[in-house]
């Protein structure tokens, strides 16, 4: 009965989310544009994000510089595209390298149970007890200004969410009569995972991935803003905010650009999964 009730709740939530196709399509469209920006980078406009021109600082939009120039005369459009390339690449790598082991370990814990479940659960709790920001700061201290420290720190904290969700859902699915019948019929583990587990845990994993990517992007920007993560002259949204903050009175439109990129990225990831994540 509990499984049937949960399925009815999931169906109701899915039906409610299906009434918001415009928001979801908007999020997917924004994600597509961001993906093009990240893949193409500064090459899309043929600009150099590191090229300086002290004769043309804090300029407004023009034909040569569509989004103006920063305090060192660097092209803002090229730097924003370079920042998108860096931030979204780190987010994608973090989600993949956290999602795969987290999901596999969650399935293994639910599948074998017993001591394996307890051991993996205790390990996940130990990782969760360590603040993610502290872990990133420790790795950043070991390798200042390195992108791999941010990537490793974010990945090591994100995998726990995938693990806990997968273990919980997999326990319920593996206890269903249909799975027991499939085992009696001699179906192998891969077929059971593909036919029963993936359809059940797939939508939830996509939601966790979207929120994890948003967390990664904001974490990279926040650490860059406080000069702990990526450092100048690398074009990164948080670093750009720090560099442009002293000039917000003279050229407020410049500092608003990396802020807008960050907001649009997080908004696109949230809209693409159709709303807030279910507990």
- Mean pLDDT per block of 10 residues along the chain (279 residues) reads 42 46 86 91 87 89 90 93 91 91 92 89 85 75 74 84 92 80 72 80 91 90 81 88 91 93 93 61
Q: How many domains does the chain have?
A: 1
User: Which of 137, 135, 205 lies closest to 165, judged by CA?
Assistant: 205
Q: Token pair for residue 231?
A: 């450092």
Interatomic CA distance for residues 265 and 32, integer angstroms: 11
Query: Per the domain annotation, does 150 fall within a domain?
Result: yes
Query: Per the domain annotation, does 69 fall within a domain?
Result: no
Residue ranges making up the domain that contains 115: 76-272
Residue with tokens 């949230």: 270
**Phi, psi dihedral angles at 75 (to 5 degrees):** -70, 120
CATH number at residue 156: 1.10.3720.10
Interatomic CA distance for residues 248 and 195, integer angstroms: 55
Cα end-to-end distance, the chain, whole Å = 20
Interatomic CA distance for residues 77 and 88, integer angstroms: 16
Q: Token pair for residue 64?
A: 């040569």
Using a 10 angstrom Cβ sphere, with 0-12 exposed, 13-18 middle and 19 or more buried, the burial of residue 5 is: exposed
Query: Per the domain annotation, does 12 fall within a domain?
Result: no
Residue 23: per-residue pLDDT: 83
Query: Per the domain annotation, does 27 fall within a domain?
Result: no
Residue 174: per-residue pLDDT: 82
Query: Per the domain annotation, does 41 fall within a domain?
Result: no
Q: Token pair for residue 169?
A: 């859902």
Query: Per the domain annotation, does 33 fall within a domain?
Result: no
User: Does residue 184 sit in helix, strand or coil?
Assistant: helix
Residue 260: per-residue pLDDT: 95
- CA dist 215 → 8, 151, 166, 269 (Å): 30, 12, 19, 10
Residue 264: per-residue pLDDT: 94
Query: Per the domain annotation, does 24 fall within a domain?
Result: no
Query: Per the domain annotation, does 8 fall within a domain?
Result: no
């Amino acid at each position: 009965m509990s499984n049937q009730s949960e399925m009815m709740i999931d169906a109701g939530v899915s039906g409610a989310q299906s009434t918001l196709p415009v928001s979801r399509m908007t999020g997917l469209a924004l994600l597509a544009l961001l993906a093009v920006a990240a893949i193409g980078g500064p090459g899309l406009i043929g600009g150099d994000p590191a090229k300086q021109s002290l004769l043309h600082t804090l300029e407004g939009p023009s034909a040569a510089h569509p989004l103006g120039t920063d305090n060192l005369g660097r092209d803002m459009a090229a730097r924003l595209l370079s920042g998108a390339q860096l931030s979204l690449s780190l987010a994608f790598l973090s989600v993949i390298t956290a999602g795969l082991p987290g999901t596999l370990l969650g399935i293994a814990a639910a599948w074998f149970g017993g001591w394996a479940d307890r051991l993996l659960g205790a390990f996940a709790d130990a990782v969760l007890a360590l603040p993610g920001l502290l872990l990133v700061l420790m790795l950043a201290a070991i390798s200042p200004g390195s992108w791999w420290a941010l990537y490793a720190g974010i990945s090591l904290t994100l995998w726990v969410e995938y693990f806990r969700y997968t273990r919980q859902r997999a326990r319920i699915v593996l206890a269903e009569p249909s799975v027991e019948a499939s085992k009696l019929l001699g179906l192998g583990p891969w077929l059971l995972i593909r036919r029963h587990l993936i359809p059940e845990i797939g939508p939830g994993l996509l939601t966790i991935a979207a929120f994890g990517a948003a967390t990664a992007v904001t974490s990279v920007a926040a650490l860059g803003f406080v000069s702990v993560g990526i450092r100048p002259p690398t074009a990164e949204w948080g670093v750009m905010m720090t560099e442009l903050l002293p000039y917000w009175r003279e050229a407020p439109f410049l500092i608003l650009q990396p802020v807008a990129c960050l907001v649009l990225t997080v908004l696109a990831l949230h809209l693409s999964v159709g709303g807030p994540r279910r507990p």
